[in-house]
Amino acid sequence: MRGFFACVNATSDSCFMHPFKPSSHHVESFIVAQAEPDIVSKPVMENSVLVSGRESINLACAFKTKGNYSNNPFVVYWIKTGAQSSTCVYSFDYDGYDSGADHHCAIDKDLLLRRSNTSKLSLDDNIHNLKISNATQSDRGQYLCVLMVNTNSQQYWAVITNTTVIMDNPDSHLIYVIGVLVPVLLLLPVIIIIIILLKRKPAETTDFRTGRKWMTTTVPLMRWARESRNQRTHSFS
């Protein structure tokens, strides 16, 4: 058994129901489908997109139906999948005569303002690209371009593209920099103190000619010269 199943809490006021466009009586819906890879000429295209905040997300979807699936009514869904449920972000339908967008989806108002699409029908390739502007962290996730073809009152499904959108979080870079700099800044005063103490620590020096030992320390050059003159003066007196 396959198809679209919906749970409603009353008699629906419409004979048309769509998986991603619930009515007021629509409680929950499910799609039970078996993938038919022979619908299109190419296998599933899987890729990932890395996007920084406020940049645009470009999602590509192109396919060519083949065999008995050509020239039949179809619907293209762009679906953002989630752990609990999936969200439709764009749909395109063709009934053999007319076409339209978003007839099968209820699009979030905020996303609708940031979303644009390029859909083109041809005998060679059907193109249904999607662009989401001013990307935010909520836009990250997995996006599927899914094709559903109606043939002899049967629905056949195929995944065209599987794109993972990864958002580059600038806060993570800031946390990394802070994590590196803080230990360095904390250790820097300790290192300076150790260097000063090592410079001030007197060292024992031995005159190998006389065997005499004395303590020396690092002092400024002028001070060392002055003390040397005083020692020579005392030796002559």
In terms of domains, do 162 and 202 share one? no
In terms of domains, do 109 and 44 share one? yes
Query: If we measure between CA atoms, which residue out of 214, 218, 90 comes closest to residue 145?
Result: 90
In terms of domains, do 161 and 44 share one? yes
3-state SS, residue 138: helix
Q: In this prediction, what percent of the chain has a pLDDT beyond 70?
A: 63
Judge if pTM exceeds 0.75: no
In terms of domains, do 74 and 162 share one? yes
In terms of domains, do 178 and 109 share one? no
Considering only residues 207 and 121, tell me which one the structure prediction assigns the higher pLDDT: 121
The tokens describing 172, both together, are: 């993570």
In terms of domains, do 156 and 230 share one? no
HSE value, Cβ hemisphere, 13 Å, CA-based, for 32 = 5
Calculate Rg over the CA atoms of the chain.
37
In terms of domains, do 164 and 85 share one? yes
What CA–CA distance (Å, rounded) separates 21 from 182? 52
In terms of domains, do 133 and 180 share one? no
In terms of domains, do 136 and 201 share one? no
Average pLDDT, the chain: 76
Work out how many domains the chain is built from and give that number.
3
pLDDT in tens, 172-204: 555 555 666 777 777 777 777 777 777 665 555
CA distances from 234 to 226, 227, 229, 230, 231 (A): 13, 11, 9, 6, 5
Give residue 220's pLDDT.
47
Give residue 125's pLDDT.
83
- 102 torsion bin: left (phi>0), alpha (psi -120 to 50), beta (else): left
Give residue 221's pLDDT.
44
- Assign 51 a pLDDT band (cuts: 50, 70, 90): very high
In terms of domains, do 102 and 218 share one? no
In terms of domains, do 159 and 76 share one? yes
114: containing domain: 35-168
- 168 torsion bin: left (phi>0), alpha (psi -120 to 50), beta (else): beta
